[in-house]
Structure formats: structure tokens, C-alpha cells
Structure 1
């Protein structure tokens, strides 16, 4: 009886052992979601830029400048004498308001009050962060930001929703250069 049991165990052991086979996935993903997302974002950016270009083309009063980072702006008050613009670490104070592309005020200057900001060392939305670096003390500049330069997909969790392009009227009050001396 023992011999039969051992023989059966050996047969079962040898017959059940085989090399592992790779399992095939049930669903094959090809990265199509990422491709679709890229296409949606390109279409959204093109629509927003088209709306901004329409605003620019109908505004015959102001001379718009295209930034290297993808937004447009014009000067309401320009300083032609100074060459000092804020750099990394400099402290600036400024006032601004935010509007949608239809000109509806989202945040007023009074609501936002005077902002004190250390260039590139504190949080501020991308377009405004880059726009401040173009300004000189006392200048007033109006920026037109596509949503990817503003609050993007997430908005600001208050008044600015998803993918909203913005107009910001900014007054740069002061620039305080970062101290370069070390103790």
C-alpha cells in the first residue's frame, strides 16, 4: 500500500510540474489616454489663443507684446529711464486685479490688496510670476494669460474655475533687491 501511495505521489509530482507561462493581459493599453489628453490640451490652448488674438486684433489702442513664455501684454504706464527689473530673490510689492476674457472682474485690486512677493521663492501662478520679472518699478502692465499660464485645470478653488484664461492689470509698486552680502 505504501508503495502504491509513493508511486502515485511521484506520478502526480512529475505530471504537475511544468514551466510557468506568462499570462496575457485582459486589456491592452497603448497610451491612447495620454495621446487623447495631449490632443485635448492642444485644442484647448488653440481655442484660448484664438480668443486672445481676437481681443488683440480688435484693440487698436494698445501695442501688444508676446512674451517668450506664452502670454501677451501691453503697457499702460511704462518706465523708459530705468533698467531695473526684479530678479530671483528680490522682494516686490504690487497690486493687481483679475478679469475673464469678457472683461468681467473676478478679483478686484481692493479685494486682493497689496501683495508682497519674493521673486521665484514663493507661490504665485506661472504667468504672473513671469510677468513681474518683465516690469520696472511704477509700471502698469496688462497681461493676457491662457489658462495654462494662469490657474490651469484646477482653478483657484474659489472664483476661478477650470481652464479659465485671465486678464491681469498689474501695478508694480516697489522692488527691493535681495541683499548680496553674506555675514
Structure 2
């Protein structure tokens, strides 16, 4: 009997003690002002960089600059006029490039960087380089003016390129190996 009463009391206490949790009031409320201020700062930075790039383009009467829909500018040093392909997703490209300030002071020379290979959209390279290579044909050399958000952005490259630095880069696309040919070569090399 004592056991039944004890069990009943424990059950009653457990039932009364278990109530649904109540939502807490937030400790602080975010009004979004930080995000709005950050957006404004970035818009000013982009406008300032684009103004600087436009000044360089206007002073450079020797070249015909093209405005890309991706937010950078370029001109042809060497243009391939016959029908040729541009690299697409999965193609392997062999290329050389350099990086300098917008005014042309070298940051990384072609010799420092060396010849590179890159599978289009499958490896990590800076945004402008990835998009610029897709505009090129085998044998072409183009010079690009990249705003910082298309180059190394807020963090820079942690070595020679600081944060929010727009760059100039001359890229030569040496060879394109189409993904289909690349897969055939890999399959023929397997035992």
C-alpha cells in the first residue's frame, strides 16, 4: 500500500513538474544595420575601383577594351580569328599568366608563376581568372583588368596582394584538352 501511494505521489510530481518549455526573449535584437552599412561600404569600394579602371582605360588609347558581363575589362594582345573552341566545364587548359597592379607594376611575373594547368570550374583559382579563361581560344593572349572582388577580394592572397586590391593580368592560353579527349587518354592509360 505504501508502495502504491509512493508511486502515485512520484507520478503526480513528475506530471506536475513537467511543463512545456517557454520561449525565451532574445537577449539582443539585430536591426540589420551592420549588414546595410557593410553593403554601402562595398558599393563605395566597387564604385571607386571601377572609376579608377575607367580612368586607366580612357588614358590607354592603344588598346580596345571590352567590358565583360562578369564585371571586368579586357583587350586582346593576340587574337585567334579562325574558328576555334573556348574551354568549357571539365576541359583541361594549359596557360601562363602574370599579375600586376592596375598601373603595371609587377606583383607576380610569368616566370614566378610558371606554366599552369587547370580543369575548368573544377579547381580553385581566383574568380576573374576562371571566367577570363572561358572567354579565350587556344593561342590567344589577353590582358584583363579585374576589380578586387574578381581578384583576391577582402583577404588578398596572404602574401603579396593585400586586401581589396584590383589587379591587371595578362593570360596566354597555350592549349585546351577537351574533357572527352582527356577521359579517353585517362582510359587508355589504365591497365
Normalising TM by the smaller chain, what interval? 0.7 to 0.9
Write out aligned runs for 1:37-56 (5 A): 37-56=38-57
Equivalent pairs, count: 163
Q: Paired residue for 1:8?
A: none
Query: CA deviation digits over 1:47-105, x for unaligned, max 9?
Result: 00000000001111100001111000000000010231001000000000000112110
Give the unaligned 5+ runs of structure 1: 1-19
TM-score (norm. length: structure 2): 0.81
Q: Paired residue for 2:66?
A: 65
Q: Report the aligned-residue RMSD.
A: 1.7
Q: Which has the higher helix share?
A: 2
2:168 is the counterpart of 1:167 = yes
Write out aligned runs for 1:18-37 (5 A): 23=25, 25=27, 27-37=28-38
Tell me the CA shift for residue 23 of structure 1: 4.4
Give the unaligned 5+ runs of structure 2: 1-21
TM-score (norm. length: structure 1): 0.84
Question: Which segments of structure 1 move beyond 3 Å, counting only runs of 4 or more?
Answer: 20-25, 180-183
Write out aligned runs for 1:31-180 (5 A): 31-179=32-180
Tell me the CA shift for residue 21 of structure 1: 9.5
Specify whether residues 63 and 21 from structure 1 end up closer, same or farther in structure 2 by C-alpha distance, changes over 3 A only: closer
